[in-house]
Structure 1
Amino acid sequence: MTTTSNSSQLPTLRGERVASVIFSVLLLVAAWMVLFPARAAYDEELAYRAAVDCASPASRHDDDCLRTVKVRFDRTDGEQVMKNKTTYWLYVTEADGTVARARLRGKPESLPFSGPGALLKATYWRGEIRYVDIGSVRKYAEADVRGDYKPLLALGLGVGFFGAGFLGLGVVSTTRLARTAARPSPWKGGLVVLFTLGLAVLGALAPWPTDGIGAAFGFVGLGVPVVLVACAIAAPVMRRRLSPDRTVAVATLVPTKERHFPGRVHGDVPYAGSGATLVVAPDGSLASTPDPAGVAYRREVPSSLTPLRVRPATWTAPSGDFYGGPGLLILECEDDGVPVYVITRRAHMSLLLGVLQARGAC
């Protein structure tokens, strides 16, 4: 295999740095979300849970204590259906004639009365009705602050661990590229991705079964060994499947008419790097072109191209300007002793081999 020059590595290194900046921003946004909106919502919940009944009947609705007053039912309206949640406005009248309303969860038909005048109890905290007692049944309003921090914390932890993991991978990859012009082994990068996704899932799930921000981080800590065990189990499989030394068996298929499909040629040859489309024909002709339609600016591949083997496309692929991905394969070739690499999807590799077979190269 030939080594690539620094100039050919510059676009790749720039891409790594751009990715690192993006994941840094994600990490900062996640940290802000956890430290400010989620923390503020959690502090409000703690204050609500710590609130006690108001000592004086003259207390105002906007006090920090829980003020429960007797009210009479007036009417309901404004029913809204959002996905699996239905809410409606409940209007009540206090003894002094003050009309208040609260958006309750459920349907108006669930109320045990239909006409106005029924006696209820409404509990205020910081100026809003938080719940209503209808006999022995308590209905919480949408203004109930319990659990408001959990979606914010779940998003912050999920995005935070996601950004931190990929930022670490990007920093390591960038450092390695700058020093050795090579990425880390693809299976090692795959393990980092798997571990990062595992932490992100743990972070997104942690707030729901726990009570508190600290408990959510503790949940993630308890889940880390589980993720590590999963990575340890997956490591041998990933190392075997992502190894560039693995040869892939592909059946040949001679095209019955001219076909064009996504693909690229790499190597120190005139027809390399001319575009991202390959053109094949039944007579054995093969060309590369930047034209997605496969018509203009064709560069013919000479018959001296000899295929050697098909292997998976990985991060360690030559020229470094493409990544491995699901369904991508590399055809290793030689052209008068010069290494040449042709990359395309698995579905098109059969046609590529069929054309080379038709010209007698296989």
Structure 2
Amino acid sequence: MLRQNVRVVIIDNSGTSRRRNRAGIYASATLGCLALAVSAVLLLIVAPSRFDEGRDFNAARPCAAHGGDDCLRSVPGTVAEITTHDKPKGNDYYQLVFVEAGGQRRGVTFSGSPAEAPVASVGQDIELTYWRGQARFADYPSGRKYSQADPRDDYGAPMAWGLPAGIMGLYGMWSWLWWAKLSHLSRRRSPWQLWVPMLGCGVVAGVAGFAAMTAGSMGAAWLVTGASALVMLVVSPMIGLIAWWRQRGDDTVAMEPLVPTGERVFAGAVRGEIPYASHGAPLVAGPGFLAVSIEPAGALLHRQLPPSLAPVRVRPEYWTDPGAGLADKKTKPLVLECEDNGVPVFITADRKDLPWVLGALQSRALTAPAAARRP
């Protein structure tokens, strides 16, 4: 296993680290402030105004003679035409053309299907009720149906966006603080100090969005959000403690080399201030050699890594590593730290492929170098 006789190598990536650190600071601060601004507008302006409109609608009473727009004005008429619109994910709606007793035609939109109770059909006599210039509901012989202009729960949509935006904005500000002041605590690409709060904020944001659409009132949505936040304030430190315990101490990953019996082509990257660096081309491991492909398929042209390349240790990815991770986000990459005549070299590959890299490097001492391949 590659844990014996490990030398400590001090790698100076200060310039790259500072650039990546600044990128994290700027991105977190920008996204956090933007999310908080959006949340403030939705929660302090849009949602309260829509809540007030719904409250006014619930308090409205039928109009007396010559009443204004703030009363409920009911108009009898007949359904002249129905147009249905089938949408994915159950967002169907239909448009109803209503002809008043005086011959005036008006269009009204309802969610769902006209076949749903109360059933709507052409030629049916109904009564349409207006409030503040819009048709709010229709009374059918079999019951009442509210139109898409129903203002009673309109506050739910801005709250369903505003609450999660505010919560994730707070996470963005924590991320900014971590990158600006605390990033020296961990060099891992995904430190627990970031992903544990992100997990907690994500759970609370999901609960808040769901509560805003289903709780029945603004107060209930805030209450459910606050309760979920308190729960995560208890659970998140426990998860963080477990993550800290697992990541404490030396982060070297024990790994047994596997010597390939034939050529194996897989995704990887070789980075560092070396002429054979690769950024996206696959790696090729074989008996007695490790190479970088110089064509995307990895089947023809290879550039072998020099025999002076010596493995040091396997570890997780660091945010200070040069370059980005692997293009395929489904992989679980690890980094093999190497040296080439004192120059740091980083070989990144998926956890299941890195043993072949180690085996190919170690087998060079036992196998004659493979001849360079030609197309």
TM over 0.5: yes
Aligned pair count? Answer: 349
Alignment map for 1:1-362 (pairs within 5 Å): 1-20=9-28, 21-54=30-63, 56-60=64-68, 63-69=69-75, 71-83=76-88, 84-110=90-116, 114=121, 116=123, 118-135=124-141, 137-177=143-183, 183=187, 186-242=191-247, 245=251, 247-250=253-256, 252-254=258-260, 256-257=262-263, 259=265, 261-266=267-272, 270=274, 275-277=279-281, 279-287=283-291, 298=303, 300-303=305-308, 305-308=310-313, 310-315=314-319, 319=321, 322=324, 327-333=332-338, 341-360=346-365
Contact 1:6 1:181 in 2 (8 A): no
Closer, same or farther: CA 259–114 of 1 in aligned 2, 3 Å: closer
Comparing 336-345 with 196-205, greater Cα deviation is found at: 336-345
Alpha-carbon shift at residue 221 of structure 1 (Å) = 0.9
Closer, same or farther: CA 163–277 of 1 in aligned 2, 3 Å: farther
Alpha-carbon shift at residue 67 of structure 1 (Å) = 1.9
Q: Secondary structure at the match of 2:209?
A: helix
Alpha-carbon shift at residue 352 of structure 1 (Å) = 0.4
One-letter amino acid matched to 2:61: V
Q: Secondary structure at the match of 1:347?
A: coil
Q: TM-score, normalised by structure 1?
A: 0.80
Alpha-carbon shift at residue 159 of structure 1 (Å) = 2.7
Contact 1:262 1:344 in 2 (8 A): yes
**Which sections of structure 1, spanning at least 5 residues, go unmatched?**
none
Alpha-carbon shift at residue 113 of structure 1 (Å) = 7.5
**Which sections of structure 2, spanning at least 5 residues, go unmatched?**
1-8, 367-375
Q: Secondary structure at the match of 2:149?
A: coil
- Root-mean-square deviation (Å): 3.5
Comparing 10-19 with 91-100, greater Cα deviation is found at: 91-100
Q: TM-score, normalised by structure 2?
A: 0.77
Contact 1:52 1:65 in 2 (8 A): yes
Contact 2:308 2:341 in 1 (8 A): no
Provide, for residues 157-179 of structure 1, a one-character-per-residue CA deviation record: whole Å limited to 9, x for no partner.
Answer: 223322320332133213335xx
Closer, same or farther: CA 271–305 of 1 in aligned 2, 3 Å: farther
Contact 1:328 1:343 in 2 (8 A): yes
